[in-house]
C-alpha cells in the first residue's frame, strides 16, 4: 500500500510512518517542520520504502503527483500547540483551512478512490460543560476575540470541508477527533504537558502547572492511536463519519504531575502559574476533555490497550536512556 502522510514529521505522523513501514507499506511524508522535526524521521530515511519532502502543502508543486500515487492519505498537517497558535494565528488559519481545502480539491481531481483520514481534535467541543463528549454533542465557543481558540475553529472548518467532499464527489474520508495523545517523539518544545512534566521531574526541578491543576484530560498512548486510525480508515462504514479517538481514562493535571513525580522517584515540588504568565494572555481553559468511545468501538471493535501508568513508565525509561 502507498501511504501519504501530510505533517508526517510531527509526533503522531512520524509514529504512523514508522508503523506502516514496519507493515511493508511505502510511505511518503511531507512536512514543513512548523510543528514536526527531522529528528522524528531520521531513522526512517534508512528504509527504501520511505520518501520525504520538506514542503508546505499550500504551495507544494508535487502534491498532485503524490496524491495520484497514494492508496491512503493521513492528513495530519496542521500548526498545533497553544504557544504556536498564539505566536502566529494567521499561519494557523492558512495551514489548517487553506491547506486542507487544497488537498481535498486535488484528491477530487486526481484520485477519488483513495482512503483518507482527516485528523481533527477534541478541542472542537469547545466549552460544552459536559464531563465527557460524544460525537453528536453541541459545540460551544465563547466570545470570538480570544485567538487561543482559532486552532479549534480551523479544525472544525476542516471537518466541514471533509464532510462536503464526502458527499460530493463521495470521497472515502473518515474524520477522527483526536483526544490528548502521548508517546515517543513528543517533546516539551510545543508545550506538551507529559514530556514537560517528565523532563522537570527527572531534573528535580519544579513541575510547572498552569492554573490550579483541577482541569482534567484523558491521555492515549500513540501506539493505541495509530492502531485505531489504521482500523478507522480501513472501515468503509466510517466514511463520512466523525469519530472520537483516544483513551477514556480521565485524570486531573495536578494528579498527573504527582503520578509522574512518583514514577520518576523525583524530589520535585509543584509550581502553579497563571495562563497569562505562561502564554502572555489570560483565557479560560476547557475543564474536561474525556471521550465517549462507543462509536469507535462499534465501527472498528477497537479499545485502548495501554494504561497511562504503563505509557509513563515507557517514556521515563526512554528518557533515562537518552540522559
Q: Which residues are catalytic?
A: 151
Distance between CA 306 and CA 287 in Å, rounded? Answer: 24
Q: Kind of pairing, strands 207-210 and 181-182?
A: unpaired
Q: How far is residue 276 from each of residues 150, 212, 216, 272, 280, measured CA to CA in Å?
A: 18, 13, 20, 12, 5
Backbone angles phi, psi at 316, to 5 degrees: -65, -40
Distance between CA 133 and CA 290 in Å, rounded? Answer: 6
Distance between CA 309 and CA 315 in Å, rounded? Answer: 10
Distance between CA 61 and CA 63 in Å, rounded? Answer: 6
Q: How many CB atoms lie within 10 A of CB 316?
A: 18
Backbone angles phi, psi at 53, to 5 degrees: -130, 125
Partners of residue 218 on adjacent β-strands:
250
Distance between CA 159 and CA 191 in Å, rounded? Answer: 25
Q: How many CB atoms lie within 10 A of CB 187?
A: 14
* Cell digits of residue 121: 481534535
Contacts of 101 (CB under 8 A, 6+ apart): 161
* Cell digits of residue 211: 492554573
Q: Kind of pairing, strands 2-6 and 26-31?
A: parallel
Amino acid at each position: 500500500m502507498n501511504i501519504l502522510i501530510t505533517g508526517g514529521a510531527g509526533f503522531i505522523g512520524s509514529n504512523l510512518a514508522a508503523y506502516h513501514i514496519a507493515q511493508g507499506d511505502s510511505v511518503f511524508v511531507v512536512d514543513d517542520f512548523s510543528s514536526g522535526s527531522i529528528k522524528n524521521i531520521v531513522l526512517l530515511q534508512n528504509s527504501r520504502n520511505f520518501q520525504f519532502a520538506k514542503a508546505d502543502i499550500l504551495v507544494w508543486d508535487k502534491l498532485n503527483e503524490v496524491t495520484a500515487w497514494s492508496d491512503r492519505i493521513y492528513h495530519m498537517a496542521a500548526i498545533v500547540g497553544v504557544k504556536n497558535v498564539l505566536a502566529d494565528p494567521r499561519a494557523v488559519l492558512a495551514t489548517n483551512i487553506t491547506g486542507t481545502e487544497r488537498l481535498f480539491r486535488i484528491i477530487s481531481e486526481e484520485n477519488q478512490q483513495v482512503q483518507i483520514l482527516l485528523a481533527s481534535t477534541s478541542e472542537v467541543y469547545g466549552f460544552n460543560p459536559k464531563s465527557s463528549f460524544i460525537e453528536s454533542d453541541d459545540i460551544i465557543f465563547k466570545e470570538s476575540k480570544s485567538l487561543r481558540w482559532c486552532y479549534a475553529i480551523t479544525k472544525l472548518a476542516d471537518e466541514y470541508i471533509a464532510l462536503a467532499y464526502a458527499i460530493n464527489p463521495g470521497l472515502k474520508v473518515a474524520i477522527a477527533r483526536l483526544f490528548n495523545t502521548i508517546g515517543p517523539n513528543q517533546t516539551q518544545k510545543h508545550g506538551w504537558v507529559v514530556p514537560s512534566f517528565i523532563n522537570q521531574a527527572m531534573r528535580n526541578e519544579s513541575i510547572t502547572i498552569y492554573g490550579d491543576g483541577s482541569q482534567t484530560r484523558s491521555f492515549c498512548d500513540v501506539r493505541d492511536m495509530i492502531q485505531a486510525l489504521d482500523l478507522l480508515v480501513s472501515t468503509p462504514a466510517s466514511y463520512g463519519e466523525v469519530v472520537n479517538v483516544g483513551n477514556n481514562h480521565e485524570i486531573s493535571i495536578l494528579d498527573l504531575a504527582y503520578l509522574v513525580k512518583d514514577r520518576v522517584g523525583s524530589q520535585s515540588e509543584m509550581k502553579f502559574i497563571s495562563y497569562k504568565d505562561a502564554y502572555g494572555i489570560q483565557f479560560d481553559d476547557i475543564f474536561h476533555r474525556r471521550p465517549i468511545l462507543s462509536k469507535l468501538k462499534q465501527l472498528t471493535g477497537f479499545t485502548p490497550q495501554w494504561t497511562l501508568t504503563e505509557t509513563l513508565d515507557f517514556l521515563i525509561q526512554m528518557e533515562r536512556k537518552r540522559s
